[in-house]
Structure 1
Amino acid sequence: MGLDIPKLFGTSGIRGRVEEEITPELALNVGKAISTYIGKGNKVVVGYDTRTSNLMLERAVSAGILQGGCHVLSVGMVPTPVVGYATMKLNADAGVMITASHNPSPYNGIKLWNPDGMAYLQEQERTIEKIIHENNFYKASWEDIGQITDISPVVNNYIEDLLGLMDIEPGLKVVVDCANGAAAYLSPLILRKAGCNVVSLNAQPDGFFPGRKPEPSEANLTELMKVVKVTGADLGIAHDGDADRMIAVDDKGRMADFDKLLALVSAEIGGCVVTTVDASACIDRALEEVGGTVERTKVGDVHVAEMIHMLGANFGGEPSGTWLHPQFCMCPDGILSALRVIELVQNKGPLSQLLDDIPSYPTIRDKIDCQEDQKNPIMRKAETDLSLIYEDVADINLKDGVRISFDDGSWVLVRPSGTESFVRITLEGKTEDKARMIHEKAAEFIHDLL
């Protein structure tokens, strides 16, 4: 496929500012491209989150799908995981979610899903880009234009199937912050049906996100942390705008360490778990204790999904809170992730204690200015020579940058930024001295090449 084809898809679908990168014309073309790709007569689930531009874009995408002779299964305003689930449950041929996830209000985006609820792979995204670039759309004749069907009742199936997976006793007190996003109605309802005593924050849908910004960062979750502490709740749960992510707050009102939380749930599920090259070694240690294994892949939930699919893994996720539960659906699901953490707290005790029991190791994150044309030569040299500057190398992983693991469990990752002019160094040392030594050597190695 030629290099002159403009790239529309980033690491998580098409995304940008409304009326700049994201327009009704683009949405129409994406709809037409989907129909062209999957073939006329097939079915596409379409959903959207709470953003002010969503109906405009949803109508445009749907028009494109209908023009290509495919049928729209309209699920309405729902979290992203419901679109993935509905695509799988109803044997649809594709799914479309209109969302910009954790980005601010002026942004929106389009994410595409496969029949098994897994996000489109990169090669599929390239095919959609090629169809749009070449204006090579199939157009149905008047008698073959597609139909729209309301499938909103599938949300009830989602709730039933989700609760059927869990074994939660009534009684835990949970504060859930929905960010005025797509889970505003659904997440508190499901947690109540699971038996939790729920306090909800920002649980009215509003595309201006008046309660807090949709990014579930520590700075944006101060209210949630205070409410958990003041109400004596067992834990807090926060979602991003489309609820494909989940962040937890412990019973002391502290935001849970992303890696430690992933390690706790991974150990509870056991077996083969997939995570990214930048995730902490505490996940490996937690899995070792229960006889499980960890496989690492490139940063990005699509890469995690691909490897889960390839290995038949039990579970996978990124430290960001994007977790995949393959026994349910291949779409990241923040509501199911919340239920997993609630079940863990019920079975094992206070979240604060569980997190504190996992040893913390000194961590360093650094970035070094690096021009775009220098990134490839530097990374090629790092692949062959970076490990030679250290003595106790146990493993080298080249899936996404260079990740070197050491005999004592320390590790370092050197990888180019995908969006900025930096090379990033991320590491975890067994001691402060070890962390400093690893960092100094890696930084010196890169500076010398520059």
Structure 2
Amino acid sequence: MAVPSDLIVSVSGIRGIVGAGLTAEAATRFAAAYGSTVAGKRVIVSNDGRPSGEMLRHAVTAGLLGAGCKVEDLGIAPTPTCGFAVRQLNAAGAIQITASHNPAPWNGLKMFGSDGAVLPAAAGAVIRGLYESGDFARAAWNGIGTVGVPPDVGADHIQAVLDTVSVAAVAGQRFRVFLDANGGAGGPLGVKMLTDFGCEVIAHGCEATGVFAHEPEPIPAHLVDVAPWVKQHECAIGFVLDPDSDRLALIDENGDCVSEEATLALAVKYRLRQQPGTIAINMSTSRMNQDVAAAAGCPCVRSAVGEANVVALMRETGAVLGGEGNGGVIDPRIGWVRDPFVGMAFILSLMAEERKPFSQLVAELPRYAMLKTKFTVSRERLPDAIAALEARWPEATINRDDGLRLDGPDWWLHVRGSNTEPVVRVIAETPDPERTAQLCREAGSVVTG
């Protein structure tokens, strides 16, 4: 059986529009394929609160039970809590039902291994092969799996985060904080953690209804109505979560949205004060992190794009922190998943130490302008386009781990083909917005020429 053309499969799992590519049948089949790799073992299941999650949770549970798995149903839970639960409950893995920041019609399955990390590409390929072949592990009538409800893992997750910082230092500042969870899974835990920090919380959309008040991707264009409330409520900072709570966006005390690239850079700055060490980021993440790490005398290494790739490099290098420029922070002490609760804890701790307005902390970061563009290029032409880019900037340092990354003295350019459509993504960063735009234009003309 072939994967439906409108069902997206990647290193992160599967995703599609509910009722079209993503159906109950597809979810059950994928869960059965996953269950076949951990037959008879404990598997965590949770969802991000979207209305379609209820239907898909039953479908996923059925597929796992048919493989004899012992399902631990967390109900609605953030993606990082799902990953945390795998290690906390000594499970063989997990399936989180989520479409991350995609619009409401979408949903998906995100699969984890026994380490609580998103499955790497090789393991995902095995599950896809089982899905297509239908060669599942099938339990007999007396070997069907069971369903249980575990203790409150969410509270343990938040306590683990609190244990990494000084709660008293933050509590002493009595911050008033704005939190917008947009109806997603992270609202209740976010409010709990901020309250435990002694903050006065102005909560918006913090009930996990799955009903979005604005577009779910937490980028400035979608926060036009939300951002001014931070200033109106006289908050020291605003935090915004995506539906499954693995991304953290920031709003300063003036009601201005902060680049999502700053989330990780601020977390890096704080973490390296705690413990110097290696920082791991992906190829398309801001150079701010590299500069912050260098200022602390620490190395910064880069992986291919994708959370699983960042985690693999963190393990290889023993990194003390990692993440991606989409607002994702990964602390191996907590788990191998992008965790906004870690990001909030570190940023509040940095504010408490520095005793400066949040906007000033952002202004003190290295200043860069990033631009993300894409151009239509056939897959067949991509190798020639890559070679032409190398020839155009012969002085640049070359990295071919994920498409092509070119590094100059104060600029970089990352060009990679899409896995799902005939486009090339061109991302550039320099200290000047116009220079960045020009770099993207030049690269675009080379790859399409």
- Using structure 1 for the length normalisation, give the TM-score: 0.91
1-structure distance, mates of 2:250, 2:12: 22
CA pair 360-327 structure 1, distance change in 2 beyond 3 A = same
Cα separation, partners in 2 of 1:37 and 1:433, compared to 1, 3 Å: closer
Within the candidate set 205, 208, 213, 2:211 is matched to: 208
Q: 1:439 to 1:195 in 2, by over 3 A?
A: same
Q: Given that residues 5 and 130 in structure 1 are in contact (C-alpha distance below 8 angstroms), is that contact kept between their aligned partners in structure 2?
A: no
Displacement of 1:39 in angstroms is: 2.6
Contact 1:84-1:331 at 8 Å conserved across structures: yes
3-state SS in 2 of match to 1:111:
strand
1:434 deviation in Å? Answer: 5.9
Residue of structure 2 equivalent to 1:375: 382
Q: Which residue of 1 aligns with 2:36?
A: 36
Match of 1:343 among 321, 346, 349: 349
CA 263–159 in structure 1, closer or farther in 2 if over 3 Å, else same: closer
Structure 2, unaligned stretches of length 5 or more?
none
- Tell me if 1:221 matches 2:220: no
RMSD value, Cα: 2.2
Amino acid at match of 2:216: P
Residue by residue over 1:102-156, the C-alpha shift from the partner in whole angstroms, topping out at 9 and shown as x without a partner, is 1122111111111111001111111111112111111112222111111142223
**Among candidates 352, 359, 364, match of residue 357 of structure 1:** 364
Distance change >3 Å, CA 142–CA 285, structure 1 → 2: same
Contact 2:330 2:339 in 1 (8 A): yes
The answer to whether the Cα contact below 8 Å between 1:389 and 1:441 also exists between their aligned partners in 2 is no
My pick for the range that moved more, 435-444 or 329-338, is 435-444
Q: Deviations over 1:286-322 (max 9, x none)?
A: 1111011111112222211121122221111111112
Which residue type is aligned with residue 175 of structure 1?
Answer: F
SS in structure 2 opposite 1:247? strand
CA distance in 1, matches of 2:375, 2:24: 39
* Of 228, 237, 240, the match for 2:239: 237
Length, aligned pairs only? 438
Shift of the 148–167 alpha-carbon distance from structure 1 to 2, 3 Å rule, reads same
Q: Give the conservation status (yes or no) of the 8 Å contact 1:416–1:424.
A: yes
Give 1:37 shift.
0.7
Secondary structure (helix, strand or coil) at the match of 1:179 reads: coil
What is aligned with 1:328? 334
Contact 2:382/2:447 (8 A) holds in 1? no
Distance 1:328 1:159, change over 3 A: same
Q: Aligned-pair distance for 1:332? A: 1.6
**Is this contact kept in 2: 1:8–1:129, CA < 8 A?**
no
* 1:65–1:295 Cα change, 3 Å: same
Distance 1:100 1:361, change over 3 A: closer
Tell me if 1:256 matches 2:255: no
Give the structure 2 partner of residue 409 of structure 1: 410
CA apart distance, 1:191: 0.9
> Could you tell me whether the CA contact under 8 Å between 2:270 and 2:347 is conserved in 1?
no
SS at match of 1:47: strand
Structure 1 match to 2:322: 316
State whether structure 2 residue 188 is matched by structure 1 residue 185.
yes
Contact 1:28 1:60 in 2 (8 A): yes
Structure 1 residues 93 and 415, CA, compared in 2 at 3 Å: closer, same or farther? same
Give CA-to-partner distance per residue, 1:375-395, whole Å, 9 cap, x none: 24423x24xxx34433643x2
Aligned twin of 1:196: 199
Select which of 273, 282, 287 maps to 1:276: 282
2:85 paired with 1:82 = no
Structure 1 pair 377–388 and aligned structure 2 pair: CA distance change class (3 A): closer
Report the equivalent of 2:14: 14
| Partners of 1:261 and 1:355 within 8 A in 2 | no
3-state DSSP of counterpart to 2:57: helix
TM-score (norm 2): 0.91
Taking only the aligned residue pairs, the percentage that are identical comes to 29
What is the CA distance between 1:422 and its match in structure 2?
Answer: 2.7
Residues in 1 aligned to 2:53 and 2:414: alpha-carbon distance in whole angstroms: 38
When residues 368 and 137 of structure 1 are mapped into structure 2, their CA distance, relative to the original with a 3 A threshold, is: closer
Report the CA distance between 1:340 and its aligned residue.
1.6
Unaligned 5+ segments in structure 1 are: none
- CA 67–446 in structure 1, closer or farther in 2 if over 3 Å, else same: closer
Per-residue CA deviations over 1:26-73 (Å, capped at 9, x if unaligned) read 121122222211132x10011112111111111111112111111011
